[in-house]
Chain A
Amino acid sequence: MAQVEYKGKVFNLDEDGFIDSFDNWCPEWVQYVKESEGIQELTEEHWKIIHVLQDYYRKHGIAPMVRILTKVTGYKLKYIYELFPSGPGKGACKMAGLPKPTGCV
């Protein structure tokens, strides 16, 4: 597991850059990852998606299906890709500290 330090915080990452545990998430993590995810400036809309993902994960133990994410946030999938160029899984879930998506992806 790779270790990175950013603004005084230490993160342990897997080979795809997901953090080792949701419990180790902190706002600095989002700042650290944004660049590699192709995001110049974090807006309120980015944070809204991150918070929806985290709330859903805390409550249900899974990441929401894309249709739930679009319904709850009111953002169309196309717009989510504009905010997170690598998409809701690799982009938004990674920044929200959720586990890496599994299955035949």
Chain B
Amino acid sequence: MPFDPSDIMKDRITDIGPPKYDKFFPPVIKENYGKWKYHEILEPGVLVHVSETGAEVYTVRVGAARLLSVDLIRDICDIADKHCDGYVRWTTRNNIEFLVDDKAKLKPLIDELKSRGNWFPIGGTGASVTNVVHTQGWIHCHTPAIDASGIVKAVMDELFEYFGSHKLPAQVRISLACCLNMCGAVHCSDIAILGVHRKPPIIEHERVQNVCEIPLVIAACPTAAIKPKKVGDYKSVEINENRCMFCGNCYTMCPALPLADGEGDGIALWIGGKVSNSRVPPKFSKLAVPYIPNEPPRWPTTVQTIKKMLETYASDAKRYERIGEWIERIGWEKFFEKTGIEFRHEHIDDYRLAMTTWRTTTQFRF
């Protein structure tokens, strides 16, 4: 029943949802579902889970660029066909995991992955820097202030040794979002890369009333910088530039308010977030560096600043301490001192509940 454009509802299938998750379980997973006793990390990127039944499953985790061609997915399927009876899975950080049910099958799988150059780097387990959760950037979105794939590649190249090793005090989650819509995990990651603007939107007065719902635009602004205004014959808006902090929310609602700017746009780095409840409750990441220019194609300043923060943490934190826990223990003033990052007025919160973030104690370190 080919799709018939003159009768689009004919033979239409809908509301069937995704296929049931267990349809694609490897047999060893299906048989031991809910019976796992313990697991071990055998080496970076390689796990074993042992079941109450004595069954074992070996997992090899490999990095992936997230943005993949069908050709590469077919390569992944070929490897899964050859070594894993056709089964493969993706992780919540977009790594790929190959599973085998017998130790004897492990080495041929690892040899095969290693034989393919850098396409399938093994790692991402334990106290490592695993994959970077990231967004669309200049590949596909219309609101980005920075790219996603390009920066992620540059950062992971520089931190590659931490992907396939366990030399950090704890796992370090790095995330990127290309605007402060923050698709993904930047607000809750150990290190976060965020695209920011520094200039207010341009108002295309002759388009506003035709392509925008003006009340939505006004309501989109978190600082109430927008008000309705008649410009000549056009119903339009006015932006108070002293109240605008360049979030771009109004552009999301109104295509006639673009604000992307080659020189203005850049990167803010955030630090110290986490989502797990281990030891201390989850944390939001906080501003570490307010602005670094966009430097395509390798973003050297961003990459080096991240590396510096990571390595300062690695040499200073205690075992199991996440970055946020480390900073909280040593104090933010020491974080800035040790990393050499300049503390600027932009670091001081000035949004509504800002007062709760200021220091209301005499306790600080010189």
Provide the residues of chain A in CB contact with B254, threshold 8 Å: 102
* Contact status B215-A60, CB under 8 Å: yes
Cβ proximity bits B212-225 to A, threshold 8 Å, 1 near / 0 not: 11111000000000
Provide the residues of chain B in CB contact with A103, threshold 8 Å: 252-253
For chain B, residues 249 to 270, give those with C-beta under 8 angstroms from any C-beta of chain A: 252-255
A104 close to B (CB within 8 Å) = yes
Distance of A92 Cα from B212 Cα, bound (Å): 17
B339 close to A (CB within 8 Å) = no
Distance of A85 Cα from B12 Cα, bound (Å): 11
Distance of A56 Cα from B209 Cα, bound (Å): 16
* Contact status B216-A102, CB under 8 Å: yes
A72 close to B (CB within 8 Å) = no
* Contact status A102-B8, CB under 8 Å: no
**Which of A20, A22, A62, A104 touches B216 (beta carbons < 8 Å)?**
A62
Interface size on A, residues (CB 8 A): 17
Interface size on B, residues (CB 8 A): 17
* Contact status B9-A99, CB under 8 Å: no
Distance of A35 Cα from B6 Cα, bound (Å): 7
A100 close to B (CB within 8 Å) = yes
Name the residue of chain A whose CB is nearest to the CB of B181. A104
**Which of B6, B9, B215 touches A62 (beta carbons < 8 Å)?**
B215
A21 close to B (CB within 8 Å) = yes
> Are A99 and B8 also in contact (CB < 8 A) when A62-B216, A104-B181, A104-B252 are?
no
State how many angstroms separate the Cβ of A69 from the closest Cβ of chain B: 14
Provide the residues of chain A in CB contact with B210, threshold 8 Å: 20-22, 99
* Contact status A85-B213, CB under 8 Å: no
State how many angstroms separate the Cβ of A83 from the closest Cβ of chain B: 12
B211 close to A (CB within 8 Å) = yes
A27 close to B (CB within 8 Å) = no
State how many angstroms separate the Cβ of B102 from the closest Cβ of chain A: 45
Cβ proximity bits A13-39 to B, threshold 8 Å, 1 near / 0 not: 000000011100000000000010010
Cβ proximity bits B170-190 to A, threshold 8 Å, 1 near / 0 not: 000000000001000000000
* Contact status A63-B181, CB under 8 Å: no
Name the residue of chain A whose CB is nearest to the CB of B254. A102
> Are A61 and B9 also in contact (CB < 8 A) when A99-B210, A102-B252 are?
no
Provide the residues of chain B in CB contact with A85, threshold 8 Å: 8-9
Provide the residues of chain B in CB contact with A57, threshold 8 Å: 213
**Which of A38, A40, A63, A104 touches B213 (beta carbons < 8 Å)?**
A63
Name the residue of chain A whose CB is nearest to the CB of B212. A99
Distance of A99 Cα from B212 Cα, bound (Å): 6
* Contact status B181-A38, CB under 8 Å: no
* Contact status A99-B252, CB under 8 Å: no
Provide the residues of chain B in CB contact with A102, threshold 8 Å: 212-213, 216, 252-255
State how many angstroms separate the Cβ of B121 from the closest Cβ of chain A: 33
State how many angstroms separate the Cβ of A91 from the closest Cβ of chain B: 11
Provide the residues of chain B in CB contact with A35, threshold 8 Å: 6
Distance of A62 Cα from B213 Cα, bound (Å): 5
Provide the residues of chain B in CB contact with A22, threshold 8 Å: 210
For chain B, residues 1 to 56, give those with C-beta under 8 angstroms from any C-beta of chain A: 6-9
Provide the residues of chain B in CB contact with A100, threshold 8 Å: 211
Provide the residues of chain A in CB contact with B255, threshold 8 Å: 102
Provide the residues of chain B in CB contact with A61, threshold 8 Å: 213-215
Distance of A102 Cα from B211 Cα, bound (Å): 9
Cβ proximity bits A29-69 to B, threshold 8 Å, 1 near / 0 not: 00000010010100000000000000001001111000000
Distance of A100 Cα from B255 Cα, bound (Å): 10
Name the residue of chain B whose CB is nearest to the CB of A24. B210
For chain A, residues 73 to 105, give those with C-beta under 8 angstroms from any C-beta of chain B: 85, 99-100, 102-104
Provide the residues of chain B in CB contact with A104, threshold 8 Å: 181, 252
* Contact status B181-A99, CB under 8 Å: no
Most buried by B among A62, A100, A102, A103: A102
State how many angstroms separate the Cβ of A40 from the closest Cβ of chain B: 8
User: 7 pairs across A/B with beta carbons < 8 Å?
Assistant: A21-B210, A40-B7, A61-B213, A61-B214, A99-B213, A100-B211, A102-B255
In the A-B complex, the 8 residue pairs with the closest CB atoms: A38-B8, A62-B213, A21-B210, A102-B253, A62-B215, A61-B215, A61-B214, A99-B211
Beyond contacts A61-B215, A100-B211: 6 other A-B pairs, Cβ-Cβ < 8 A, are A21-B210, A38-B8, A62-B213, A99-B213, A102-B213, A103-B253
